[in-house]
Amino acid sequence: MAAVSSMGKMYGLCFHAARQTAGLKASRLLHRRAFRISAVHQQQPFDSSLEKPQFPGASAEFVDHLEFIQPNVISGIPVYRVMDRQGNIINPSQDPQLSKETVLNFYQKMTLLNTMDRILYESQRQGRISFYMTNYGEEGTHIGSAAALEPTDMVFGQYREAGVLMYRGFSLDLFMAQCYANADDLGKGRQMPVHYGCKDLNFVTISSPLATQIPQAVGAAYALKRENLNRAVVCYFGEGAASEGDAHAGFNFSATLECPLIFFCRNNGYAISTPTNEQYRGDGIGEPQRGISARLFCPLLHSPLVLLNSGSGSRLWHAVHPRGR
């Protein structure tokens, strides 16, 4: 009898739990239906002559004929530039009016970076260090964009942003220590050459795999947003890294979460060994800028940083420039 009684209690408990589960599911279903119905009732009636659909996440026009959009009939995204090839300001209203001291500082940093590249590249060819990647032809994008940042802004780089770190105060001794992996290296020789990083300068250590820094930068920017700090994040990557899945996931997360983040794509036309015409079809993404001059990028990057700090979401810059080597 005791066994029968306990079995009855068990069945009773199971039946009660099943009823609770079914009731909870029914309640959730009714709530979803009520939400959908209320959403439909909230939609405003359209004028039949100017009717526009309201699709989630998109805005488009209704058409009564099928037409495929061909990329060859769409004009490309225009490339913004301030100076011509001779260094003359094209439109005086776009002159950033930088002081002579500022421009001279840019030039000194760019030539110093170029000289350091030459020495370390030759060291790698001589077998003194195991690996090195130069920044030839990209010095202006580094120095100009770095000048627009605040010291508290975080930087996620790839492996051709040594100029950003140099402008922030990373010394030649620390560059050499990292590449030679000696006792003065901040990473204690645990990284490959050119995988720089400095906590004090808010420059996150570089990773070898392409595009891993993109979702990491999104997470850092979202954390800064949640903490309500007046700081931004800049994430540098090459056009080859933009083909990685991490890039597209990062773009979407940053856009939907409205993170204070600037994606900075350096398009030097190589993608290591793949030319851009074989890498993707289309006109690229972002706002193309001719990325040779530091004089261009300092004010250019400052404007979206102001927008980021006002809470207007992420931005993407597409710097188009040739790589020297």
C-beta of residue 210 within 8 angstroms of C-beta of residue 240: yes
Share of the chain above pLDDT 70, in %: 68
Work out the mean pLDDT of the chain and round it to a whole number: 80
Query: CATH second-level architecture of 98-320?
Result: 3-Layer(aba) Sandwich (3.40)
- As a whole number of angstroms, the distance between CA 42 and CA 58 comes to 18
φ, ψ dihedrals at 49, nearest 5°: -80, -20
User: What is the model's pLDDT at position 37?
Assistant: 44
**What tens digit of pLDDT does each residue of 51-89 get?**
666 666 667 777 788 887 776 777 777 778 888 888 888
pTM: 0.75
Tens-place pLDDT, residues 180-197: 999 999 999 999 999 999
∠ CA 268-272-276, rounded to 5°: 55
Query: What is the phi/psi pair of residue 301, to 5°?
Result: -80, -25
CA distances from 245 to 53, 215, 256 (A): 31, 10, 17
pLDDT of the residue at 50 = 56
Cα-to-chain-centroid distance, residue 84: 28
Specify the pairing of strand 154-156 against strand 203-204.
parallel
Least trusted range by pLDDT, from 48-62, 223-237, 240-254, 309-323: 48-62
| Cα–Cα distance for residue pair 181/267, rounded to 1 Å | 30
Least confident of 120-124, 262-266, 282-286: 282-286
* Residue 6 in this model has a pLDDT that exceeds 60: no
Tell whether the model's pLDDT for residue 298 goes beyond 70. no
For residue 258, give the 3-state DSSP assignment.
coil
Higher confidence at residue 59 or residue 262?
262
How many of the other CB atoms lie within 10 Å of CB of 105?
16
Q: Bridge-partner residues for 290, per DSSP?
A: 320
* Cβ neighbours, 10 Å, residue 320: 21
Please choose, from the candidates 121, 146, 123, 124, the residue with its C-alpha nearest in 3D space to the C-alpha of residue 136: 121
Tens-digit pLDDT profile for residues 128-154: 999 999 999 899 889 989 998 999 999
Element at 217 (helix H, strand E)? helix 213-226
Predicted confidence at residue 296, as pLDDT, reads 54
- 140 vs 10: CA distance, rounded Å: 75
Mean pLDDT of 96-125: 95
Kindly give, in sequence order, each residue whose CB lies less than 8 Å from that of residue 309, ignoring residues fewer than 6 positions away: 230, 232, 260
Enumerate the domain spans of the chain: 98-320
The alpha-carbon radius of gyration of the chain (Å, integer) is 27
Using DSSP's 3-state secondary structure scheme, residue 315 falls into strand
